[in-house]
């Protein structure tokens, strides 16, 4: 199957006052048409940076990008900024954790959606207003005619996120990048938003790159998942398969530290140490200092991807076998 | 009973709300509405519920960081409902709070060590004694002494949260309110903190109110759990009992909304419609009526009382 989005060996170096930060060091990621693809990992591992790189939303002056980002077969990395701007909000759009940072507090939500649509679809005013109303209905904001005239602060967090989604899908994008879209919401509202995203993906044939730190969300909403650690994708595969037999020691440890499966009051599994500071380019397995299975070669070279079968890949010299992998 | 450390009876906390129009009758926000609980020595009492349901306010009332609108709070057998001034201050050393965001609980420019020493000084702990105690505590939370020379931004979230716990233990308190202490942390770090809390409880028989919006965390750590909705406790029981028989429709929906690794879990989900209603101008009947799929006519008429359904399992629902 042709991939909708294909990221190959993407590196992003950021120039900071404390030196170069190797934020991404060779990310490989492929999103298929119509799928919801999860990206999980602990904070700072590069999830948001990967997402922002696609639409060039990070500060490009102070960073250096290498590798390849192909969208519908077209290489994005060398394109002029205005080409990327054309893509943004039309074929690829993005929503964030905190909707208020992206909504204009002084404009009604109806006008905001309409304005955005006029800009990207070059539509007339009347058409745009109709579109805005249609979109509000589509994301479950009812009654749309009344809500249309409300300001963002009059809405709950869940409703604000629905408005963001309405705006993001107005131009029927092929890819929606959702960076922790439910992290700030309560679980009952989170369930509503995830349901909405799944329904939209199915109805519109839209792919979603769903960034989260919650494995439970991945298990329930994503067909495939990529696990990131220290600026790299360390494991990728079908969600069910990866959860059943996580092959990379990091993915396995992460899954095991989730409370809920062990007996109450027993000690939870932890990962010793903390993720590395990213001030040096990686030349060995970045997980080696914390990995219980590390051996000499892990500290000498970066492990290449090991094919566990069925599109399940793990960047590890000694991927875990089925029997010693996750519970479930 | 003498080993009860903290007890609340019908505790109520209301906040006044600014009226929208002149001459309108003053309105109140019911943050905590008639909560009763008691926590024995060494017990960890969990409070779960969604944002705004009154968890933090309940915790602050137990610590008497708020004035109490109604009902009573007692600490180690003494009524502290109306304490003020000096007697309230002396209570502070015995009761501590740990917050969600460890970076907000430390001054960003102050070295960790001086933050600890300041806490000791405020409560008139002798200097030498404080130094020894601080070093013991660092060992307890598994951090090197060198941490004392650093500023908060040089620590990770998990390390800083361990320091916040250590600082809370400095005066050897008998009661701690932990308000979402692991919610801002990654799961692997969260696991470290939860392990630490279990160790401390076992070692020092710490008594704790543990506030969280995460059922799985509360289930793992706590002995008793109360589920709150709009300021009220809708279900309360011992942890094993509660999770083996979720009786209240809200608890059932809340539990089913949590994404889990079990691929079949989702098919059993109860998706609640609508938002959490406002705690201002509460309806007369059941607070959950607007979102409850089992809502019957009587639910809108009278508020269901919290009643024992056997074995101390309390539920507030007309239909259970
Ligand atoms: N000082 C205050 N003045 C007015 N209203 C308040 C005050 N403190 C809390 N409230 C209100 O009381 C209710 C309960 O708040 P509380 O902070 O206890 O909720 P919570 O359950 O801790 O929520 P969260 O999960 O978001 O922390 C909310 O509606 C809140 O807006
Ligand atoms: N503006 C920035 N300046 C310096 N470092 C940054 C900046 N933005 C991100 N980083 C670093 O890049 C890495 C990846 O960050 P990010 O993609 O935001 O992580 P995630 O979304 O997975 O939590 C982290 O080490 C982070 O500290
Ligand atoms: S390559 Fe070696 S150190 Fe890295 S995860 Fe695999 S076994 Fe562990
Ligand atoms: S009392 Fe009625 S509305 Fe309230 S939870 Fe029970 S069934 Fe639902
Ligand atoms: Mg991020
Ligand atoms: Mg709170």
* pLDDT confidence bin for A191, thresholds 50/70/90: very high
Supply the pLDDT for residue A161.
Answer: 94
Chain segment B162-175, per-residue pLDDT in tens? 999 999 999 899 99
Mean pLDDT of A237-247: 94
Average pLDDT, chain A: 91
pLDDT band (50, 70, 90) for residue A260: confident
Residue with the larger pLDDT of the pair B277 and B60? B60
pLDDT digits (tens, 9 = 90+) for B147-193: 999 999 888 888 899 999 999 999 899 999 999 999 888 888 888 88
User: Tens of pLDDT along B49-85?
Assistant: 998 899 999 999 999 999 999 999 999 999 999 999 8
Q: What is the pLDDT of residue A270?
A: 87
d(CA B143, CA B159): 8
Asked if residue A223 lies in contact with residue A209, where contact means CB atoms within 8 angstroms, the answer is no
Min Cα–Cα distance to chain A from B158, Å: 9
pLDDT of res. A262: 66
Confidence at residue A102, expressed as pLDDT on a 0 to 100 scale:
87
pLDDT at site A1: 58
Task: Choose the mutation target among B44, B162, B186 for the interface with A, i.e. most A CBs under 10 Å.
Answer: B186
Mutate to test the pocket of ligand 2, among A44, A181, A227 (most ligand atoms within 8 A of CB): A44
Q: Determine the pLDDT at residue A115.
A: 93
Whole-prediction pTM? 0.89
Is the confidence at residue B109, as pLDDT, over 90? yes
Cα A171 to ligand 5 centre (Å): 25
Determine the pLDDT at residue B268: 78
What is the percent of chain A where pLDDT is above 70?
97
Mutate to test the interface with A, among B212, B254, B257, B259 (most CBs of A within 10 A): B259
Q: Is the pLDDT of residue B1 over 70?
A: no
Question: How do residues A73-116 score in pLDDT, each as one tens digit?
Answer: 999 999 999 999 999 989 999 999 888 888 999 999 999 999 99
Residue B288 CB–ligand 4 contact under 6 Å:
yes
Report residues near ion ligand 5: CB below 5 Å: A 48
Tell me, what's the pLDDT at B157? 86
Q: Is B123 helix (H, G, I), strand (E, B) or coil?
A: coil
Q: pLDDT tens digits for A298-321?
A: 999 999 889 998 899 999 999 987
Residue of higher predicted confidence among A77 and B283: A77
C-alpha span between B178 and A227 (Å, rounded): 31
Q: In A, which residues are within 8 Å of B260 by CB distance?
A: 216, 219-220, 260
Model confidence at B238, pLDDT cuts 50, 70, 90, reads very high
Interchain contact B265–A (C-beta under 8 A):
yes
Does ligand 4 have an atom closer than 6 angstroms to the CB of B116?
A: no
Going from the Cα of B254 to the center of ligand 5, the distance in angstroms, rounded, reads 26
Per-residue pLDDT at B165: 93
Kindly state whether A271 is in contact with chain B, defined as any CB-CB distance less than 8 angstroms. Answer: yes
Task: Please calculate the CA angle A200-A201-A202 and round it to the nearest 5 degrees.
Answer: 90
**Contact call for A217 and B219, based on CB within 8 A:** no
Q: How confident is the model at residue B282 (pLDDT cuts 50, 70, 90)?
A: confident
Nearest to A260 among B156, B195, B260 (CB): B260
The answer, yes or no, to whether any atom of ligand 2 lies below 6 A from the CB of A274, is no
Is B158's Cβ below 8 Å from some Cβ in A? yes
Q: How far is A172 from chain B (nearest CA, A)?
A: 26
Q: Is the CB of B189 under 6 A from ligand 4?
A: no
For residue range A268-289, what is the model confidence (pLDDT) as tens digits? 888 888 888 888 888 899 999 9
Instruction: Give the count of beta carbons closer than 10 Å to the beta carbon of residue B318.
Output: 18
Give the pLDDT score at A100.
86
Predicted confidence band at A327 (pLDDT cuts at 50, 70, 90)? very low
What is the structure's pLDDT at B92? 86
Pocket test for ligand 4, best of B296, B301, B302 (most atoms within 8 A of CB): B296
The minimal CB distance from B188 to the residues A42, A214, A264 is found for A42
Residue B295 near ligand 4, beta carbon < 6 Å: yes
A29-39 tens-digit pLDDT:
999 999 999 99
- How confident is the model over B198-222, as pLDDT tens digits? 998 999 889 999 999 888 899 999 9
The predicted pLDDT at position A324 comes to 53
Check residues A325 and B131 and name the one with the higher pLDDT. Answer: B131
- Find the helix or strand (DSSP H, E) in which B243 lies: helix B239-244
Check if A184 contacts B (Cβ < 8 Å): no
Interface mutation vs chain A, best among B100, B155, B188, B210, most A CBs within 10 Å = B188
**A293 Cβ closer than 6 Å to some ligand 3 atom:** yes
- The reported pLDDT for the residue numbered A261 is 62
| pLDDT at position A251 over 60 | yes
Contact check, Cβ <8 Å, B272/A191: yes
Higher pLDDT, B281 or A256: A256
């Amino acid at each position: 199957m042709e991939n909708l989005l294909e990221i190959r060996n993407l590196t992003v170096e950021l120039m900071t006052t404390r030196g170069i930060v190797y934020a991404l060091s060779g990310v490989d990621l492929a999103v298929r048409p119509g799928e919801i693809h999860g990206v999980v990992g602990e904070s700072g591992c590069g999830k948001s940076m990967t997402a922002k790189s696609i639409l060039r939303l990070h500060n490009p002056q102070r960073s250096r990008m290498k590798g390849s980002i192909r969208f519908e077969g077209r290489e994005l990395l060398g394109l002029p900024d205005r080409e990327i701007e054309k893509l943004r909000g039309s074929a690829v759009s993005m929503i964030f954790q905190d909707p208020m940072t992206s909504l204009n507090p002084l404009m009604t939500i109806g006008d905001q959606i309409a304005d955005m649509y006029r800009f990207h679809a070059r539509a007339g005013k009347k058409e745009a207003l109709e579109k805005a109303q249609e979109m509000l209905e589509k994301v479950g904001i009812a009654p749309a005619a009344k809500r249309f005239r409300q300001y963002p602060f009059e809405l709950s967090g869940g409703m604000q996120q629905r408005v963001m989604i309405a705006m993001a899908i107005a131009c029927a994008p092929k890819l929606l990048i959702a960076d922790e879209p439910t992290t700030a919401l309560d679980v009952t509202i989170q369930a509503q938003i995830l349901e909405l995203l799944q329904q939209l993906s199915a109805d519109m044939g839209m792919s979603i790159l769903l960034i989260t730190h919650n494995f439970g969300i991945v298990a329930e909403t994503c067909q495939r998942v990529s696990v990131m650690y220290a600026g790299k994708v360390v494991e990728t595969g079908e969600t069910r398969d990866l959860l059943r037999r996580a092959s990379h020691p990091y993915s396995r440890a992460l899954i095991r530290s989730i409370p809920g499966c062990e007996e109450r009051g027993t000690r939870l599994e932890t990962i010793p140490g903390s993720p590395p500071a990213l001030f040096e380019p990686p030349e060995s397995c970045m997980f080696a200092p914390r990995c219980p299975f590390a051996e000499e070669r892990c500290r000498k070279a970066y492990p290449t991807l090991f094919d566990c079968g069925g599109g399940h890949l793990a960047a590890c010299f000694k991927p875990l076998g089925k029997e010693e992998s996750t519970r479930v | 009973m003498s080993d009860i450390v903290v007890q609340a009876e019908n505790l109520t906390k209301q906040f006044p709300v600014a009226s929208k129009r002149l001459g309108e009758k003053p309105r109140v926000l019911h943050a905590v509405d008639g909560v009763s609980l008691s926590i024995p020595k060494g017990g960890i009492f969990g409070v779960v519920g969604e944002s705004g349901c009154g968890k933090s306010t309940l915790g602050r009332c137990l610590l008497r960081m708020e004035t109490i609108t109604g009902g009573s709070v007692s600490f180690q057998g003494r009524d502290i409902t109306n304490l003020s001034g000096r007697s309230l201050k002396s209570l502070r050393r015995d009761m501590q709070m740990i917050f969600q965001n460890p970076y907000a609980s430390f001054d960003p420019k102050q070295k960790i060590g001086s933050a600890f020493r300041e806490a000791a000084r405020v409560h008139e702990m002798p200097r030498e004694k404080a130094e020894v105690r601080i070093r013991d505590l660092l060992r307890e939370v598994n951090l090197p002494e060198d941490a004392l020379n650093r500023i908060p931004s040089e620590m990770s979230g998990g390390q800083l949260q361990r320091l916040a716990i250590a600082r809370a233990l400095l005066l050897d308190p008998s009661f701690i309110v932990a308000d979402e202490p692991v919610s801002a942390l990654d799961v692997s770090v969260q696991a470290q903190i939860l392990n630490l809390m279990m160790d401390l409880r076992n070692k020092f028989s710490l008594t704790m109110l543990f506030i969280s919006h995460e059922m799985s965390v509360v289930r793992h750590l706590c002995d008793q759990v109360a589920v709150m909705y709009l300021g009220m406790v809708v279900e309360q029981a011992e942890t094993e009992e509660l999770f083996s028989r979720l009786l209240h429709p809200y608890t059932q929906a809340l539990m089913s909304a949590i994404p889990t690794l079990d691929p079949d879990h989702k098919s059993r989900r109860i998706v609640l419609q609508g938002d959490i209603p406002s705690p201002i101008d509460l309806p007369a009947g059941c607070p959950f009526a607007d979102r409850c799929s089992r809502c019957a006519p009587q639910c809108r008429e009278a508020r269901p009382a919290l009643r024992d359904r056997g074995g101390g399992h309390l539920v507030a629902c007309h239909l259970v």
